[in-house]
Amino acid sequence: MKPTPKPLSQYHVFLASPGDVGVERQYVRKFFDDYNRSTAHIWGARFEVVDWENYATIGVGRPQELINQQTLEKYRESLALVIGIMGQRFGSPSGKAESGTEEEYNWAMDSHEATGFPEIKWFFRKVDKLELPSDPDEADAALDQWKKVRAFRKRMQDLNKPVFYAEYPSATGFAELFMHDLNQWLADPARPWAAERAAYVAAFSDAVTVVLPAEFDADRYQAAVNKRFDKLNFEMLDTTGAYYGGVRLWGVFVPQSVRECHQYNPRLLEIPKEHQQRLLDSGEIDAKELEETDQQAEQLRQDYFRQPLRPVLDVVDEALRASPAGAGRKLVILGDPGSGKSSLIRFLALRWAGIAEPTVRNTQLIPLVVELGAYARWQCDARKDFVRFLEEAPVWHEWPRGLLSRLLEQTGRVVLLLDGLDEVFDVPTRESVINDIQRFSSQFTSVPVVLTSRVVGYQPQRLLDAEFRHFMLQDLDASQITDFLNRWHEVTFDDPTLAMPKRDRLQKAIHESKSIAMLAGNPLLLTMMAILNRNQELPRDRADLYTQASRVLLHQWDTERALENFPGMSTEIGLREKNDILRRIAAHMQAAPSGLKGNMIDGQTLTCLIEDYLQNELHFAQARAAARAVVEQLRHRNFILCFVGADSYAFVHRTFLEFFCAADFVHQFNVAKTLDVDSLIELFDKHCREVLRLICGQIDEQFVRRIVECLTTRTDLEKWDGVTPLPEFPLAIGCLSDVRSASRLEAAGWNLLTAVVSCFLKGIRPPEVFVLDIVAAGREMGNRWPGKSAFEFVGQHPESDAFYHHWRWPHFLAAVFEQRAWIEALSRCSSWDVRRGSVEVLAEKWPDQTTRDLLTQCAVQDDHEATRRAAL
């Protein structure tokens, strides 16, 4: 089925105010964000708050005139409302008015008189006692500001058509007043979107001819949903140093994108062969499915990744809007641990509960949420079904008997949200639950169903046969990460001036550090980094970063709870012991036939490894029973080690597998003395390259020097064909980048730099990915490259095949040397491809008037189209 995007009506709201009402401004943005997420999307509308802070940019001209052009004028056609807020300050003169806020008000009044729009609302903070600075001059200025506010307010009252304004008691009291007023305003039939809203409500009334049963107390259920699902779960994370009890899921949840995986399970073929056989033997995966996927793997993989990414809420809403008689109303959302599957289910329930207007809320499908782990554990005398579970089990909301059946019989009345099929651990029980899902969907054919599950152990065929569509959650992309960081820092800091530097610091770290960026796509780990970033800057050093990140996760691996029935044992397993256990697990995974490709271990082997440690290192008599208790705990909660389904466990992110594997090698090298540097170098041939880099960040520089020298000299460049990629070079740069004190490796750094430069100058046509890897590694190393001072630039540049990636040469030079004059010289060299790269680098790194003049000259005079296009 092709996606059918719903057209969107975009309206804008301008926010005008001086600088002393920051809390109120933040609430206005939050109000419209909530309204968009819960209500406006229903009839295809969106309200965007526009202000000078986020929408105006610097330029030539009077500052307030620029702001007016870039906000009020730009969005004139869709500007529905101007909201003004004033406390004690009036603002600074703008050149045409006593303040920028007053000039914005004048613009809005002129437009309203000419066209009827925008509408204008003004809010004044009630000042019972004027607060003045102790400095006499500052006090006089503050008093003058207050007089201007009063005069402006009187001006509003004296107009022939007075502007609506209201007083609010304080910054905290603003929210209640504003929410009440704006909800009424948005629902008013006179508003331009009222026709769309009324048409939607009327269409629903025509489709659903039966009224809601009188026994259904919507307000009570709304309160129950909010109480159950709106508190963010921090069980897995160490939140020491800040209070996060007030963080609501609704405020910080960022919906991801998905790809449909109807015929292709991208995780199935990532399972190591030895685990595939074990899962086949235990009935966790289907042999036919595995064989078909294996045979068609490459074609299916290409088809899967060719799909455009789709917002998960668009996919869900499309299913909810689908015709009751048609297909496409049943979904399975698959994802990895920490990817946000349960948060999505909770958000869908909260979205219904967040609709303030009963007439609109009654048009939306009532969410019935069933947590399948609890459903599977429920003891029932007769045959189970979801209706009986919700009515009879001790769940979070009490349903009168018979009410659910009546709701389910009404077309377009409810949606069933099933969370966590993977939380049903026993295979026969899971089969029974799938039977119940099929039976429900057959009995209530018009009721949409959304099911979530982890990937490992999930067998899709039966639900595919029942016409369930399957989608895979994707990592957060750059814009979604930014959205989360904005939301997180807005709700976890009371003072925006404290929040912004912390947010910008983390955003910069994600942008500049590959190590941090690797983790940021996972919602759980991004939350972890936001917590860690509050009290300290995230380390750029990879080993230090992963050490601190693992400490946050290990803090919450409360083995003492799992071992509470083993007196004397529960308090003995601290941070060091947990690290030791994880090192052993990672080493076992690395030694398996699939090596680090397989981030997976079966429950029996995991139990044996923990048992061995408890018995031989800590000398616990009940080691086997204790190990079983620890593994059983992992089934029910995500820690740094987590259950992935089908009696299989994995590190919550592959990075932690690599980190603890490296930690084990470092232990053998530094402590046990069972490895030498030659053994570490062999890791290159075993494809443990990320592990080798992590090792280099934790051992003495003299050994890193030997590793870098060995990687540098593995290939005789005099005999290199100029085409075959040399992966040892990007790895050597990475090892150099990760060493604690690169300045102690001057000679090794110089030799490596000479070799890399030779690759650029002598290369004939190596694969682009190799050249990109070199440039990326150079950027990561940056100007810290040891030995680079011996390099002499005399204008040298590649002169071979013009379609070999010459344009990357200036990028590499600029990353390592940051010499503007070199890049300017290359912009005039004989190679058009090098010139093209040079103008790109100049525009990116030195965007000033000198560069602008040079680009203008290139755009007009360069004799090659590619260079002229790049200059433009």
- Write out the two tokens for 393: 């089990």
Give the pLDDT mean for 220-229. 96
**Which residue, of 515, 536, 557, is where some domain finishes?**
536
Burial of 206 (0-12, 13-18, 19+ CB in 10 A): exposed
Going by C-alpha positions, the residue among 473, 464, 456, 463 that lies closest to residue 333 is: 473
Question: Please, which pLDDT band fits residue 272 given cuts at 50, 70 and 90?
Answer: low
Burial of 662 (0-12, 13-18, 19+ CB in 10 A): buried
Q: Are 88 and 127 in contact (CB under 8 A)?
A: yes
Q: Are 661 and 591 in contact (CB under 8 A)?
A: no
Q: Are 633 and 627 in contact (CB under 8 A)?
A: no
Residue 159 confidence (pLDDT): 78
Residues 485 and 469 placed together within one structural domain of the fold: no
Beta bridge partners of 414: 366
More confident: 164 or 285: 164
User: For residue 1, is pLDDT > 50?
Assistant: no
Phi, psi of 595 (to 5 degrees): 60, -145
Q: At what angle do helices 808-817 and 832-845 cross, to 10 degrees?
A: 40
Going by C-alpha positions, the residue among 696, 694, 691 that lies closest to residue 710 is: 696
Residue 3 confidence (pLDDT): 45
Phi, psi of 669 (to 5 degrees): -80, -45
User: For residue 292, is pLDDT > 80?
Assistant: no
Cβ–Cβ contacts within 10 Å for residue 141, how many?
14
- Write out the two tokens for 518: 């690797």
Whole-angstrom Cα distance, residue 516 to residue 178? 40
Going by C-alpha positions, the residue among 411, 406, 397 that lies closest to residue 448 is: 411
Give the pLDDT mean for 173-192. 92
Residues 587 and 615 placed together within one structural domain of the fold: yes
- Integer-rounded Cα Rg, in Å, for the chain is 31
User: For residue 173, is pLDDT > 50?
Assistant: yes
Length of the chain in residues, anyone? Answer: 872
Whole-angstrom Cα distance, residue 341 to residue 233? 13
Q: At what angle do helices 701-712 and 746-762 cross, to 10 degrees?
A: 20
Percent of the chain with pLDDT over 70: 91
Whole-angstrom Cα distance, residue 93 to residue 101? 9
Going by C-alpha positions, the residue among 153, 85, 182, 155 that lies closest to residue 125 is: 85
Residues in CB range of 204: below 8 A, 6 or more apart: 363, 412
User: For residue 593, is pLDDT > 90?
Assistant: no
Residue 390 confidence (pLDDT): 96
Give the pLDDT mean for 515-528. 86
Which own/partner contact pairs does 213-221 have at CB distance under 8 Å and 24+ positions apart?
A: 213/403, 213/406, 213/407, 215/400, 215/403, 216/366, 216/403, 216/407, 218/358, 218/361, 218/362, 221/353, 221/366, 221/397
Residues 512 and 560 placed together within one structural domain of the fold: no
Note whether residue 17 is domain-resident.
yes
CATH of the domain at 428: 3.40.50.300
Going by C-alpha positions, the residue among 410, 474, 381, 457 that lies closest to residue 213 is: 410
User: For residue 205, is pLDDT > 80?
Assistant: no
Question: Which amino acid appears at position 61 of this protein?
Answer: G
Residues in CB range of 821: below 8 A, 6 or more apart: none
Note whether residue 232 is domain-resident.
no
Note whether residue 237 is domain-resident.
no
Note whether residue 507 is domain-resident.
yes
Phi, psi of 330 (to 5 degrees): -125, 130
Cβ–Cβ contacts within 10 Å for residue 342, how many?
17
Whole-angstrom Cα distance, residue 810 to residue 834? 7
Q: Are 433 and 421 in contact (CB under 8 A)?
A: yes
Q: Helix or strand or coil: residue 77?
A: helix
More confident: 495 or 349: 349
Tell me the per-residue pLDDT of 57-107, one tens digit each, with 9 for 90 and over. 666 678 889 889 999 999 999 999 999 999 999 999 999 999 999 999 999
- Of the given ranges (406-415, 763-772, 862-871), which has the lowest mean pLDDT? 763-772
Residues 557 and 588 placed together within one structural domain of the fold: yes
Tell me the per-residue pLDDT of 642-678, one tens digit each, with 9 for 90 and over. 887 778 888 888 888 889 999 999 999 999 999 888 8
Residues 486 and 459 placed together within one structural domain of the fold: no
Cβ–Cβ contacts within 10 Å for residue 158, how many?
8
Residues 550 and 691 placed together within one structural domain of the fold: yes
Q: Please, where are the H alpha helices in 739-864? A: 746-762, 768-781, 808-817, 820-826, 832-845, 849-861
Phi, psi of 336 (to 5 degrees): -80, 170
Residues 678 and 716 placed together within one structural domain of the fold: no
- The mean of the pLDDT values for the chain is 87
Residue 318 confidence (pLDDT): 92
Residues 451 and 323 placed together within one structural domain of the fold: yes
Q: Please, where are the H alpha helices in 354-458? A: 358-361, 372-377, 386-392, 403-409, 427-443
Going by C-alpha positions, the residue among 6, 9, 553 that lies closest to residue 239 is: 553
Whole-angstrom Cα distance, residue 581 to residue 550? 13
Residue 733 confidence (pLDDT): 94
| Per-residue 3-state assignment (H helix, E strand, C coil) for 539-606 | CCCHHHHHHHHHHHHHHCCCHHHHCCCCCCCCCCCCHHHHHHHHHHHHHHHHHCCCHHHCCCEEHHHH
Whole-angstrom Cα distance, residue 226 to residue 32? 19
Q: What is the pTM of this model?
A: 0.77
Residues 724 and 634 placed together within one structural domain of the fold: no
Tell me the per-residue pLDDT of 844-859, one tens digit each, with 9 for 90 and over. 899 888 998 999 999 9
User: For residue 280, is pLDDT > 80?
Assistant: no
Whole-angstrom Cα distance, residue 47 to residue 35? 8
Residues 820 and 795 placed together within one structural domain of the fold: yes
Q: Are 307 and 472 in contact (CB under 8 A)?
A: no
Residue 558 confidence (pLDDT): 73
For tokens 């466990």, what's the residue?
Answer: 649
End-to-end CA distance of the chain: 41
Beta-strand relationship, 310-311 and 257-260: antiparallel
Residues 162 and 19 placed together within one structural domain of the fold: yes
Note whether residue 447 is domain-resident.
yes
Percent of the chain with pLDDT over 90: 48
CATH of the domain at 90: 3.40.50.10140
- Write out the two tokens for 854: 């040079």
Residue 2 confidence (pLDDT): 47
Give the pLDDT mean for 436-457. 92
Q: Are 410 and 210 in contact (CB under 8 A)?
A: yes
User: For residue 371, is pLDDT > 50?
Assistant: yes
**Which residue, of 474, 494, 524, is where some domain finishes?**
474
Query: Which of 22-26, 403-407, 563-567 reaches the highest mean pLDDT?
Result: 403-407
- Provide the residue range defining the domain that includes 671: 541-699
- Write out the two tokens for 520: 């940021």
Residues 684 and 813 placed together within one structural domain of the fold: no
Q: Helix or strand or coil: residue 278?
A: helix
Q: Are 367 and 218 in contact (CB under 8 A)?
A: no
Question: Which amino acid appears at position 301 of this protein?
Answer: R
- Write out the two tokens for 124: 């004044």
Tell me the per-residue pLDDT of 795-814, one tens digit each, with 9 for 90 and over. 998 876 655 567 889 999 99
Beta-strand relationship, 330-334 and 469-473: parallel
| 118 cis-preceded (ω within 30 degrees of 0) | yes
Cβ–Cβ contacts within 10 Å for residue 671, how many?
8
Q: Are 813 and 819 in contact (CB under 8 A)?
A: yes
Residues in CB range of 711: below 8 A, 6 or more apart: 681, 684, 728, 729, 731, 732, 735
Note whether residue 225 is domain-resident.
no
**Which residue, of 474, 499, 528, is where some domain finishes?**
474
Cβ–Cβ contacts within 10 Å for residue 108, how many?
23
Give the pLDDT mean for 20-32. 93
CA distances from 684 to 217, 568, 749 (A): 65, 44, 19
Residue 178 confidence (pLDDT): 96
- Write out the two tokens for 755: 């070799």
Note whether residue 516 is domain-resident.
yes
Cβ–Cβ contacts within 10 Å for residue 188, how many?
9
Residue 242 confidence (pLDDT): 67
CA distances from 148 to 87, 102, 139, 154, 597 (A): 11, 10, 14, 10, 68
Going by C-alpha positions, the residue among 392, 696, 646 that lies closest to residue 541 is: 696
Note whether residue 454 is domain-resident.
yes
User: For residue 140, is pLDDT > 70?
Assistant: yes
Query: Which of the 8 DSSP states describes residue 70?
Result: I
Q: How many domains does the chain contain in total? A: 5
Half-sphere exposure of residue 183: CA atoms within 13 angstroms, side-chain side: 18
Burial of 848 (0-12, 13-18, 19+ CB in 10 A): exposed
Residue 664, H or E segment? helix 654-666
Give the pLDDT mean for 123-135. 90
Half-sphere exposure of residue 698: CA atoms within 13 angstroms, side-chain side: 25
Residues in CB range of 642: below 8 A, 6 or more apart: 337, 338, 634, 649, 650, 651, 652
Q: What is the DSSP string of 221-237?
A: HHHHHHHHHSB---TTS
- Of the given ranges (261-270, 528-537, 857-866), which has the lowest mean pLDDT? 261-270
Question: Please, which pLDDT band fits residue 16 given cuts at 50, 70 and 90?
Answer: very high
